[in-house]
A and B are shown apart, each in its own frame.
Chain A
Amino acid sequence: SYVLTQPPSVSVAPGKTARITCGGNNIGSKSVHWYQQKPGQAPVLVIYYDSDRPSGIPERFSGSNSGNTATLTISRVEAGDEADYYCQVWDSSSDPVVFGGGTKLTVL
């Protein structure tokens, strides 16, 4: 089955840029979606199709995908961005829907 690998944690100071990676075999050939989950809340879609933002998601959130790594970038990080972030892909060869293990973003 297809595996998505995320770092367990990322820390960043307020106002700086956070980069959360999602690794997978030739993930650049797939579409990657990203979700934000704050404590006690349901996940919220923040990026789809690698880099598209749903309405209502700040422009500070952006995404890229190439080779074996997809990246969620959060610019000018705020305290309210502290959350768990999950990447997700569709893999027609195995589990159709695959989630990464999640990354806890800590704002210092």
Chain B
Amino acid sequence: QITLKESGPTLVKPTQTLTLTCTFSGFSLSTSGVGVGWIRQPPGKALEWLALIYWNDDKRYSPSLKSRLTITKDTSKNQVVLTMTNMDPVDTATYYCAHSLGDCSSTSCYNVWFDPWGQGTLVTVSS
């Protein structure tokens, strides 16, 4: 059974850096074709994809947020970390991590989907 859980601060101040950790079980991020993604959802709004990291350490970022995001993995700890710099109140959202699969070659994946998702963690940006 695959499970994921997000952890991190619930409140950050504007301009601060947010660091979120996704701790997972039931799969290995060293297995070919496997990835972990981060998706967020502002209150009452739609899902927005942020970043994705693959078993081979290939990383993809949302172009609109790329300059502010960094995603890393620690395979030995079964963790993926997302950092987002220069936080703003518009970044207030529930942040989800999710296990991803897709069509993969030895170097990259496409047609990626997310299953399952973590429970999410609400991050509020306010002074």
Asked whether B63 lies within 8 Å of A1 as measured between CB atoms, the reply is: yes
Binding site for B on A (CB under 8 A): 1, 30-31, 33, 35, 37, 42-45, 48-49, 54, 86, 88, 90, 92, 94-102
Across the interface, B116 reaches (CB within 8 A) one of A31, A33, A45, A101, namely A45
**A42 touches which one: B102, B113, B117 (CB < 8 A)?**
B117
Enumerate chain A residues within 8 angstroms of B113, measured Cβ to Cβ: 33, 45, 48, 88
User: Which one of B16-24, B44-52, B80-88 is at the interface?
Assistant: B44-52
Interface residue? B114 (CB, 8 A): yes
**B24 smallest CB distance to A (angstroms):** 14
Main secondary structure of the interface of B (DSSP, over half): strand
> Interface residues of B toward A: which range?
20 to 34
Contacts of B48 in A (CB 8 A): 99
Which residue of A has the minimal Cβ distance to B99? A45
With A and B bound together, what is the CA distance between A54 and B48 in angstroms? 22
CA distance A22 to B121 in the complex (A): 28
Whether B37 is near chain A, meaning CB under 8 Å from some CB there, is yes
B120 near A90 with CB under 8 A, answer no
A69 to B113, CA, bound (A): 19
Q: Does B13 have its Cβ within 8 Å of any Cβ on chain A? A: no
